[in-house]
Amino acid sequence: MSTERGFSKQALAARIAADIPDGSYVNLGIGMPTLVGDALPADKEILLHSENGILGMGPSPTPEQYDAELINAGKQPVTLLTGGSIFHHTDSFMMMRGGHLDICVLGGFEVSEHGDLANWSTGDTSIAPAVGGAMDLAVGAKQVFAMMTHRTKDGRSKVVRSCSYPLTAARAVTRLYTDLAVIAIEDDGMHLVELAPGISLDEVREATEPELHV
Amino acid sequence: MIDKRVGGLAEAVEGIDDGATILVSGFGDAGIPVELCHAVLDRGVRDLTIVTNNGGSGETDIAALIREKRVAKLICSYPRSTGSHWFKQRWDEGALELELVPQGTLSERMRAAGAGLGGFFTPTGAETELAQGKETRMINGRLHVLEQPLPGDFALVHAQQADRWGNLTYHLAARNFGPTMATAAATTIVQVREFVELGGLNPEHIITPGIFVDRIVEVG
């Protein structure tokens, strides 16, 4: 992504972080969404959840803090904030599936007009499938934010009328954050919230398959 | 007198035979009962069904069991990880059956087994290919999928401390699937870093009560 026009990955992470209210319980998916953690403002108490049983996850450890048995969903070492807690997997997924998390931020291969999310499989049967906790998060969090580039590297739109890849969850995404725009997904379809810096409405519409309400 | 401590790893895995279904704790490299997996390997058993979150990595524990062709079927949520080359090789060869289960459903299916439930309806996976062929039901306006309990013949669990009654504590995020798996197997075998005297654990800090544990072995 260009730093001149559109949101850079870091700018997009900061834009998402600005939409997360103080006091929220949040899960950040593997990949690009982890950047949101670094962008959270220090003056808000936002508790990060990790599917493997952590609430109140802190930043990467110093060598003195390192513990091989304190890792995040991406298996990277992390720390625990003062007041953080540890619980087992079934409780962790109860938090996720049971609607206790306020927001999850997930990466996406495709997001449809009605909020269908495809982010776990390209349908390539020559590669062993793997899903992890994505389906539980997508059905369970109160709000599901998708964070992704608007188009594939070869220019195809990832914001589609109907997903061509296998679904992670149907009608799940409430807000879509891309390098080109912020889009709210409501019962009647997609609504533009904000254009990225230097991006025109025509450009977003060109890159978006479904109708974009303004 | 109750004393669930056993003398060594070979004794800990006695009774695990060909075709057993084994629940193995761990998420990534945290909480894997490495030494118990190697004891199963040394026992020479085959055609195992292994239920665990990942597909093993490197050359040890679950990866070693897959490398040595002891695993007929893997039930897991995320088999592809950095270093899971033995899973990849055996799957590519068609030598390893995979049942892919969303992670929360994997955990809850074992919870259902431990809790004596006949299954549960979950919204996870509804309208996706992982729910194909499964019974569905609309509950409160939302489509749910019927999932079956997932019991084990054995569970291999990694814990931090144990007393001779089998009460357990865990260290940080190495807890993960351990407490649920301990409830879901006919025989639960636990490797711990440290034995403590009965009374040495604060009752309010015990995560797995000893009723769920059958054998304990200390592995420094």
CATH of the domain at B71: 3.40.1080.10
Q: How far is B204 from chain A (nearest CA, A)?
A: 14
User: Which residue has 């495809």 as its token pair?
Assistant: A118
| Complex-level ipTM | 0.94
State the Cα torsion B22-B23-B26-B29 to the nearest 10°: 20
- The residues, ordered by sequence, that sit 6+ positions from A57 with a Cβ below 8 Å of its Cβ are A37, A48, A49, A50, A72, A78, A79, A80, A81, A84
Locate the domains of chain A by residue range.
Answer: 9-213
Q: Which residue of B has its CA nearest to A95?
A: B104
Touching check for B196 and chain A: CB below 8 Å? no
pLDDT at A187: 95
Longest CA–CA span in chain B (Å) reads 55
Average pLDDT over residues B64-93: 96
| Interchain contact, B179 vs A75, CB within 8 Å | no
How many structural domains comprise chain B?
Answer: 1
pLDDT band at residue B220 using 50, 70 and 90 as cut-offs: confident
Average pLDDT over residues A190-207: 97
- The residues, ordered by sequence, that sit 6+ positions from B32 with a Cβ below 8 Å of its Cβ are B24, B25, B26, B61, B62, B158
CB pairs under 8 A between A and B: 131
Q: What are phi and psi of B67, to 5 degrees?
A: -55, -40
pLDDT at A2: 46
Tens-digit pLDDT profile for residues A160-190: 999 999 999 999 999 999 999 999 999 999 9
Q: Out of B79, B170, B176, whose CB is closest to A130?
A: B79
Average pLDDT over residues A146-173: 97
Give long-range contacts, CB 8 A cutoff, 24+ apart: A71-80. Answer: A71/B27, A71/B28, A71/B29, A71/B30, A71/B173, A72/A34, A73/A29, A73/A30, A73/A132, A73/A133, A74/A30, A74/A34, A75/B27, A75/B28, A75/B29, A75/B81, A75/B82, A78/A50, A78/A54, A80/A54, A80/A56, A80/B172
pLDDT band at residue B82 using 50, 70 and 90 as cut-offs: confident
Touching check for B160 and chain A: CB below 8 Å? no
Touching check for A100 and chain B: CB below 8 Å? no
pLDDT at B81: 85
Residue A4 or residue A102, greater confidence: A102
Q: Which domain holds residue B56?
A: 9-116+149-218
Q: How far is B94 from chain A (nearest CA, A)?
A: 11
Average pLDDT over residues B62-72: 98
Whole-angstrom distance, CA of residue A157 vs CA of residue A153: 10
* Residue B59 included in any domain: yes
Touching check for B174 and chain A: CB below 8 Å? yes
* Residue B136 included in any domain: no
CA A94 to chain centre: 19
Touching check for B158 and chain A: CB below 8 Å? no
Average pLDDT over residues A82-106: 98
Touching check for A66 and chain B: CB below 8 Å? no
A55: which chain B residues are within 8 Å (Cβ-Cβ)? Answer: none
Q: How far is B111 from chain A (nearest CA, A)?
A: 7
Please check the confidence at residue B88 and state whether its pLDDT lies above 60.
Answer: yes
Hey, which residues 44-83 in chain B have their CB within 8 Å of chain A? 55, 77-82
Tens-digit pLDDT profile for residues B99-157: 999 999 999 999 999 999 999 999 999 999 999 999 999 999 999 999 999 999 999 99
* Residue B86 included in any domain: yes
**CATH number, domain A9-213, options 3.60.40.10, 1.10.3720.10, 3.20.20.70, 3.40.1080.10:** 3.40.1080.10
B77: which chain A residues are within 8 Å (Cβ-Cβ)? Answer: 130-133
Q: How far is B124 from chain A (nearest CA, A)?
A: 5
Tens-digit pLDDT profile for residues A17-53: 999 999 999 999 999 999 999 999 999 999 999 999 9
Touching check for A93 and chain B: CB below 8 Å? yes
**CA A212 to each of CA A15, A115, A187, A205, B159: distance values in angstroms, whole numbers, following the listed order:** 20, 13, 13, 7, 53
Which is nearest to B165 in space by CA: B135, B190, B132? Answer: B190
